[in-house]
Structure 1
Amino acid sequence: MTIQTTRLSDPAVRAFVRAVNHHDREGFLALLAPGATMADDGAEHDLAEWIDREIFSSHGHLEVDNESNGGRCLLARYRNDTWGEMRTRWSFTVDEDGRISRFETGQA
């Protein structure tokens, strides 16, 4: 069963999912701490290049099925125009200012 975005526990993660699903690149970038990093399936990627390719230019969308670790770990169905839909895991590191300093994703 899908968890409504408004019911996600962690405010930064909730805003991240909302920005992805509304294709709000500016809002998405505002959630990131300076120097934020990310990895996909264990491989480090250039964050700006990856989000443009995997989220914004390909109309990415997240439907969260489960959350854990205070809302900082998600199991979700992710889809975009490039890859279709897949079951994914997401984990987030949120700094003391409430901004995301790192996220990791990959197939679940």
Structure 2
Amino acid sequence: MSVDVRKIYSEVFASRLTRFELARIIGARALQLSLGAPTLIDVASLPIKDPVAVAIYELLKTSLPMSIRRRIEDGKYELIPVGKLITTDIRKYLSTILETWNISSRV
């Protein structure tokens, strides 16, 4: 990689989750919940009790104790907490998913 490409990557992608990381986090947490892991939020007030929806709610509340492992320039890795990588765009996207989920479950 040239220096310019690395600079663009570090400015644009290093401070947010990619769609692949987002899918992996939600999928991994939903699997944990479906296998009986305790929830990190109060699910009594949630309209949907599906493990994927609960995982999305937990991610929106930034209560997941997960980290993303990313490679840095030296060939070493750094661990970044998931809560620091959630942007307003990701929040809007996940909220839209939950809203459409609520609408489709009523039909």
Name the TM tier (shorter chain).
Answer: under 0.3
TM-score, normalised via structure 2 length? 0.27
Name the structure with the higher strand share: 1
Of structures 1 and 2, the one scoring higher in RCO (CA 8 A, sep 6+) is: 1
TM-score, normalised via structure 1 length? 0.27
Name the structure with the higher helix share: 2
- Highest Rg: 1 or 2? 2
